[in-house]
Amino acid sequence: MASNDYYRTLGVARNAGPDEIKSAYRKLAMKHHPDRNQGNSESESVFKEINEAYEVLSTPEKRQVYDQYGAEGLKAGAGGRGGFGGFQGGADMGDMFGDLFENLFSQGQGGGRGRPRSRRGADLKYEASITLEEAFTGVKVPVNFERTELCGECDGTGARGKTGIKKCPSCRGTGRVQYSQGFFAFSQACPDCGGQGEVITAPCKACNGAGRQKKSASMNIKIPAGVEEGAVLRVSGGGDAGLKGGDSGDLYIQVSLKHHSHFERHGADLVYECPVAVWQAALGGEAEVPVIEGGRMKIKIPQGTQHGKVFRVHGRGMPSPAGRDRGDLLVKVRVDVPHELTPRQRELFVELAALAGHGAPAEEKDKGFFKKILGT
């Protein structure tokens, strides 16, 4: 029954102008208004639908989101897909529709009930920065943050004792008041009590009537071995306390890895750049490389190893978060040419160069050349 095609619900074309939408809405709203259709539940749901459609199509920003993403886009809080930006957007959209539906429902039920408006607490985000070694083993990190918690003094009522709260005189405890606009009579949340149906006459001293207080909280969060950069862990109910019995929000821990002096991480593999002296690369030998679990291991450098060559050490990388497997350690050879030579080293290099047919190095040749032209 519920149609997500708002244009069809109002019977207008997709390019209809604001006036056309408004007049189509008025016609339909009059026809299906619950006051004229007492006890007709189908009319009530049609009325709800046309109001929903009008709410969206009469608000340029919402209409634009709807045209682009459809009704789902509005529910999700368009643009908030992924990342933390989405939470708040989604909640706001939800509230908007929540209020709208609440108005309509209480209307249909003939006058409102003043049920307390509970609200879910906000989600909180915390960033935890850990070392690569901690990501390797898994770690418990202490997380200290501020959140809104229920006031322990008044249990969240905001009132001082049981006598500190009484029925709201403006709405006689229903939480709703009637008003009329044009053709229609609407009910809305009572402005004096915020729809609660109760007013606080003596506010709780501890929270000044808010029912909630900012408190510092601390918990130990277990970060699993193999955690990836940017991973987000959720602590259900770890966020702000809800209002009027609403659920607590969640706490999201976003993990970032500190820069490591030896290793670069590529998924489950670790890359280590291993300096090898030029003669060692030529002759072959052993190199010591660090390993993530601590300490060092020896690897074989075969003779004639080229600069940039990568040796793969199986199973010495990071654990995968899913299972027991480990990635590999990739040892990338960096052939180091000495910046300075001792006289003896220089002699040997000159000899090498001569053997390879390069003759004397540039400097020597230059000297000879100048000697010649100066005739000395």
**Which residues of the shown chain bind Zn ion in the complex (CB under 5 A)?**
151, 153-154, 168, 170-171, 190, 192-193, 204, 206-207
Angle value at C-alpha 71, between 69 and 72, nearest 5 degrees: 75
Residue nearer to Zn ion on the CB measure, 78 or 171: 171
CB of 155 to Zn ion, least distance (A): 8
Alpha helices in 200-283 (DSSP H): 278-283
Nearer to Zn ion, 140 or 172 (CB): 172
Q: How far is the CB of 211 from Zn ion (least distance, A)?
A: 6
| Residue 42 CB partners (closer than 8 Å, separation 6+) | 1
- β-partners of residue 273 are 332
Beta carbon nearer to Zn ion, 10 or 200: 200
CA distance readout (Å), 357 to 18, 346, 350, 353: 88, 16, 11, 6
Nearest-approach distance from CB 178 to Zn ion, in angstroms:
12
| Closest distance to Zn ion from the beta carbon of 17 (Å) | 39
CA distance 74 to 8: 17
The strand order across the sheet containing 232-235 reads 124-130, 251-257, 232-235
Nearer to Zn ion, 124 or 204 (CB): 204
What is the nearest approach in angstroms of Zn ion to the Cβ of residue 210?
7
Measured distance CA(311)–CA(330) in Å, rounded: 6
Assign 17 to helix, strand or coil.
Answer: coil
Give me the least distance between CB of 294 and Zn ion, in Å please. 51
Of residues 234, 235, 224, 175, the one with CA closest to residue 199: 175
Distance (Å, whole) CA 28 – CA 19? 14
Nearer to Zn ion by Cβ, of 217 and 257: the residue is: 217
Least distance CB 243 / Zn ion (angstroms): 13
Reduced to 3 states, what is the DSSP secondary structure of residue 64? helix
Beta bridge partners of 302: none
**Residue among 158 and 317 whose Cβ is closer to Zn ion:** 158
d(CA 109, CA 106): 5
For residue 110, what is the DSSP state?
T
Could you tell me the two tokens for 331? 């040892």
- Between 193 and 318, whose beta carbon lies closer to Zn ion? 193
- Give me the least distance between CB of 197 and Zn ion, in Å please: 6
Q: Which is nearer to Zn ion, 164 or 285 (CB)?
A: 164
Nearer to Zn ion, 90 or 175 (CB): 175
Buried b (16+ CB within 10 A) or exposed e, 266-289: eebbbbbebebeeebbeeeeebeb
In angstroms, what is the minimal distance from the CB of 190 to Zn ion?
3
